[in-house]
Structure 1
């Protein structure tokens, strides 16, 4: 999945000469947490968060606070330089940037111009879609040898039952490089037949792992 498939393109921006008060009003009125700061060529020169603005806003409990601080230019509190991503970047790679850098928002830039924005919430929503948890389904986890061709081999068991697979994830098995975990989400509310087939085929199930086989 590419960034351009999940980014928001209706972007609210400010110029560096805008005031902190303007930023505060935009954040409140639009229920957003970040505002990219752009120049006349729509190039990203900074970014401000709701936290940046709150920290620069005089406290309502301090009667002696100077409200003139709200008229300071936004460039005085914006973060720069700004890390950006491209619309054709893979979402999985961008997720790594969010994690490593602890970002909550990333501007999306093409040809040095702002074209979109992606947030933590967008990433979480995408993760839900990629894992298939947004549809009614059952989860089956299978421990398999880490060898070529194992995925289609296991998937064939589902195919024999004509069970629709909505998503497949692959995880490492603890620290053992000889095994991995295949996580299938299948669109059936009764996964018992395919679970029995997997066990009969000799596969070890990590989940469900507490179902007693019925006696024949």
Structure 2
């Protein structure tokens, strides 16, 4: 039974996390253990365990004897998660550009990056912002994978759920924001193709720093989503 509960808890955690980071469950939304248990067709115990994990991720706020709600977006938490991602990804990009590989391996990596950009554009053309952002994530994951650092990439993703929510909110806000992300990805891709490491790093710094400059606007545009 305990093994079942652990398995069910992991499944519920993954499902709830996806709903939260993809803004299906909005910041500040109340979520009850009983209703979630009925929704997922499990007992209350796996749901309770999943919520405790999400609380440690700072994605839900748990109030003993009162209830649970989706955590409001918190500027300080977003900035810390963005700092983590930028610090790690800059080093990962160093490893990616400096790695020893054959011409065929280099070309394959470029093909993967370009194919992902095409998928991003397809998602944007159909108005599917959530899928676009997933391909945005996949674009960056390629750096980790092809540098042999995919485990680090998974760790970063596991600890940047609030940054993901802010990125999605920003991407959903205007077509201009989405087009800008696309243009930056293509510029990074072009610099990689030229093997210009300095330009790649400079472009990545601008790309990863863009959300920071948008937070003031997002807080004003979506005041109900942010912690007061």
Q: Same fold (TM over 0.5)?
A: no
Higher strand share: 1
TM-score, with structure 1 as normaliser: 0.25
Relative contact order, higher structure (CA 8 A, sep 6+): 2
TM-score, with structure 2 as normaliser: 0.24
